[in-house]
């Protein structure tokens, strides 16, 4: 059973470019969460999505950041016009349909470096 997959694992962008981060949840999981880890800090919740729906985006910066989880294909975290402060590790987690207190399974992360 493949775990949560993220790609690319490393991404380098220049200021002003766009960054697209992809997350494929575990098989059978329909819930996806994105977290950001700034250098020397813990992970901070950004957004929670179900298929075709954003459920909670309270941790997402209001500008330049967007997320989607289409009916087919991976979840995408998109950062437009990146700035140096966006440099961080971005982790995706997935969980199965809600039946109780499920744990979230984390992917290996995408490390974004903005030059």
Partner 1 sequence: GIQVEQSPPDLILQEGANSTLRCNFSDSVNNLQWFHQNPWGQLINLFYIPSGTKQNGRLSATTVATERYSLLYISSSQTTDSGVYFCAVDRDSGGYQKVTFGIGTKLQVIP
Is 45 an interacting residue with respect to partner 1 (CB under 8 A)? yes
Is 42 an interacting residue with respect to partner 1 (CB under 8 A)? yes
CA distance 47 to 34: 5
**Burial zone of 87 (CB within 10 Å; 0-12 exposed, 13-18 middle, 19+ buried):** middle
Two structure tokens written together for 22: 């992809």
Residue 22 vs 111, nearer CB to partner 1: 111
Q: Contacts with partner 1 in 61-90 (CB under 8 A)?
A: 89
Is 111 an interacting residue with respect to partner 1 (CB under 8 A)? yes
Is 51 an interacting residue with respect to partner 1 (CB under 8 A)? no
Give the CA angle between residues 55, 59, 64 to the nearest 5°.
95
Q: What are the residues facing 5 on neighbouring strands?
A: 24
Residues in contact with partner 1 by CB under 8 A are 31, 33, 35, 41-45, 48, 55-56, 89, 91, 93, 95, 98, 101-106, 108-109, 111
């Amino acid at each position: 059973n493949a775990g949560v997959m993220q790609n690319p694992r490393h991404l380098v962008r220049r200021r002003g470019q766009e960054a697209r981060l992809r997350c494929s949840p575990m098989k059978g999981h329909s819930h996806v969460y994105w977290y950001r880890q700034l250098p020397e800090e813990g992970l901070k919740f950004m957004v929670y999505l179900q298929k075709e729906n954003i459920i909670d985006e309270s941790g997402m910066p209001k500008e330049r950041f967007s997320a989607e989880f289409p009916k087919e294909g991976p979840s995408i975290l998109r950062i437009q016009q990146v700035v140096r402060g966006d440099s961080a590790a971005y982790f995706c987690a997935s969980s199965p349909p809600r039946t109780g207190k499920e744990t979230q399974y984390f992917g290996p992360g995408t490390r974004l470096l903005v030059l």
